[in-house]
């Protein structure tokens, strides 16, 4: 997904105008607001439509022929910067203060299991490495740079980034969100290596559904 700063300035300008005008703007209106030709706006809109950032909406009457309104898509909204760290930090601090570390681990673990419900159907009928590979795909969709180390004994999943690294570094309870997710998808996992604890990556090895792991041993 491109961010706003990676887009050409004219395209970013179009997205900015459409963000302000949720009902949409015509090509003529965009040309007037940006002070560029209608042909130039048309070329930028072609690129933005191709990338799924804008879409044509309803036809509206103009002085000439009816014109389409252009609106931001959901993907277009997501190119604008969002800052969730402060909100996540506020929630985590509240849980830790109100419930303590061990209860917060359990809450985050349960949230990870809840998240897994969105993906569990994708694992139906898959076994062994095929199942692990699908979990790698799910992790990639969530923002992890992950891979399956298939030639290890046993095979394991390795992630080279943590999508909430700074938060987890201050509060390692956050790791239980990952553990809840991966336990729900794979049965049980061992968190063999962790970047929060100084590792070069996060490594997760399936243990099987009958293995029990005590909380506090992330």
Could you give the percent of the chain with pLDDT greater than 90? 65
Residue 211: pLDDT band with limits 50, 70, 90? very low
The structural domains of the chain, ordered by start, are 4-77 (1.10.10.10), 85-206 (3.30.1380.20)
Instruction: Summarize the confidence of residues 32-57 as an average pLDDT.
Output: 92
Lowest mean pLDDT among 37-41, 91-95, 144-148, 204-208: 204-208
DSSP state of 152: S
**Mean pLDDT within 98-115:** 96
Q: What is the mean pLDDT of residues 37-44?
A: 92
Q: Give the separation between CA 135 and CA 182, rounded to whole angstroms.
A: 8
Mean pLDDT of the 211-217 span: 40
Q: What is the model's pLDDT at position 84? A: 78
Question: What pLDDT was estimated at residue 208?
Answer: 61
Q: Which residues in 146-168 are b (16+ Cβ under 10 Å) and which e?
A: bbbeeeeeeebbbbeebebeebb
pLDDT at residue 1, as a whole number? 46
Can you tell me the mean pLDDT for 43-64?
Answer: 87
pTM (two decimals) = 0.67
For residue range 134-178, list pLDDT tens digits in order.
999 999 999 999 999 999 999 999 999 988 888 999 999 999 999
- Is the pLDDT score of 213 beyond 50? no
Phi/psi for 100 (5° steps) reads: 90, 170
Average pLDDT in the 65-81 region? Answer: 87
Residue 218 has pLDDT above 80, yes or no: no
| pLDDT computed for residue 92 by the predictor | 94
Count of beta carbons in the 10 Å neighbourhood of residue 109: 22
Residue 207: phi and psi, rounded to 5, are -110, -20
Share of the chain above pLDDT 70, in %: 90
């Amino acid at each position: 997904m491109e961010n706003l700063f990676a887009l050409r300035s004219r395209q970013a300008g179009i997205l900015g105008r459409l963000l302000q005008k949720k009902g949409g703007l015509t090509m003529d209106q965009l040309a007037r607001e940006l002070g560029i030709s209608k042909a130039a706006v048309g070329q930028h809109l072609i690129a933005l439509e191709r990338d799924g950032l804008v879409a044509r909406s309803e036809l509206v009457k103009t002085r000439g022929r009816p014109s389409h309104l252009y609106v931001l898509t959901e993907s277009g909204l997501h190119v604008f910067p969002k800052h969730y760290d402060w909100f996540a930090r506020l929630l985590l601090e509240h849980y830790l203060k109100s419930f303590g570390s061990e209860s917060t681990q359990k809450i985050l673990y349960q949230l990870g299991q809840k998240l897994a419900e969105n993906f569990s159907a994708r694992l139906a009928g898959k076994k062994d490495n095929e199942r692990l590979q699908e979990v790698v795909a799910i992790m990639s969709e969530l923002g992890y740079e992950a891979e399956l180390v298939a030639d290890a004994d046993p095979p394991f999943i390795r992630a080279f980034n943590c999508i909430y690294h700074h938060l987890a570094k201050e509060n390692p309870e956050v790791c239980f969100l990952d553990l809840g997710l991966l336990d729900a998808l794979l049965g049980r996992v061992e968190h063999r290596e962790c970047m929060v604890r100084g590792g070069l990556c996060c490594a997760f090895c399936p243990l099987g559904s009958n293995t029990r792991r005590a909380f506090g041993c992330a």
